[in-house]
Structure 1
Amino acid sequence: MTTNLTTGVHHVGLALPDIEAARDFFCDALGYELVGGVPDYPAHFISDGSTLLTLWQVSDPETATTFDRKRNIGLHHLAIGVADDTALATVYDRVSAWPDTEIEFAPCPIGEGSTVRHFICAIPGGARVEFATPFA
């Protein structure tokens, strides 16, 4: 088969203990737009014009188990692209100042000799999100 049947990621859904806090993080800190939702589920659909995210509310945040990236199967992290090093620095400044966000590590090369730079944080609710510059 020489033709791809898929066209890339359509959207990513994150199950979170507080979708309002996550929505505020993406919309207010990063400029995403609320593009829809399902109040009865509940869920928010947000987008930066390129990436669509679904923020799903867990039914009982008090008993929800936090994902352990070394012991659980599932989404290890969500990686979001940024335009360049300047954009990465701006995102890092906004994210590191955002309440209930934990920086895992500051911007650095993705690997030895790499021109790609990135950082990872835990957003409000604990999901891990990476921000990365393009591959050269």
Structure 2
Amino acid sequence: MTDKLTCGVHHVGLTVPDLEQARSFFCDVLGFEVVGGVPDYPSVFVSDGKVLLTLWRAADPMTARAFDRRANIGLHHLSLAVANNDALEEAWKRVSAHPEVIVDVAPSPILPGSSTRHFLVFIPGGIRLELTTPFA
């Protein structure tokens, strides 16, 4: 079959322990905007104009288990695109300065010898996030 049935990602849903903390990170640090939500769920929808994220609060954050990307099936990490190296450096400054961010991989080539660069962090709540320049 050569006809693709899909045409990109519609949205990504992330379960978080603290909805306000996650909203604040995406909006205040990365510049996303709140575009909706369902208070009774509870959830907040945020977007950078290209990608839509649904942030859902875990039913019981105190007993929720953290995801282990090496042991569980599911989202290994979320990678967001940045426009270029300057944007990556600005994102690095903002993200790495956040007191609740844990750096996993500092800015570096995505593969040895590649001009594509990235960095990976664990954001507040424990989700692994990557920011990446365009593939060259």
The interval holding the TM-score normalised by the smaller chain is over 0.9
Partner SS, residue 37 of structure 2: strand
CA distance in 1, matches of 2:121, 2:19: 17
Which segments of 5 or more consecutive residues in structure 2 lack a partner in the other structure? none
CA distance in 2, matches of 1:88, 1:72: 29
Give the structure 2 partner of residue 33 of structure 1: 33
Please show how residues 71-90 of structure 1 align to structure 2 within 5 Å: 71-90=71-90
Partner SS, residue 80 of structure 1: strand
Partner SS, residue 24 of structure 2: helix
| TM-score, scaled to structure 2 | 0.97
Give the structure 2 partner of residue 64 of structure 1: 64
Give the structure 2 partner of residue 44 of structure 1: 44
2:26 maps to 1:19 = no
Instruction: Give the superposition deviation at 1:99.
Output: 2.5
CA distance in 2, matches of 1:99, 1:46: 21
What amino acid is the match of 2:108? C
Count, aligned residues: 136
Give the structure 1 partner of residue 119 of structure 2: 119
Which segments of 5 or more consecutive residues in structure 1 lack a partner in the other structure? none
Partner SS, residue 126 of structure 1: coil
Give the structure 2 partner of residue 93 of structure 1: 93
Q: Report the aligned-residue RMSD.
A: 0.7
1:26-65: per-residue Cα shift (whole Å, max 9, x none)? 1011110000000000000000000000000001111110
Runs of 4+ in 1 over 2 A off after TM superposition: none
Please show how residues 100-111 of structure 1 align to structure 2 within 5 Å: 100-111=100-111
Instruction: Give the superposition deviation at 1:3.
Output: 2.3
| TM-score, scaled to structure 1 | 0.97
CA distance in 2, matches of 1:60, 1:127: 17
Percent identity between the two aligned chains: 60
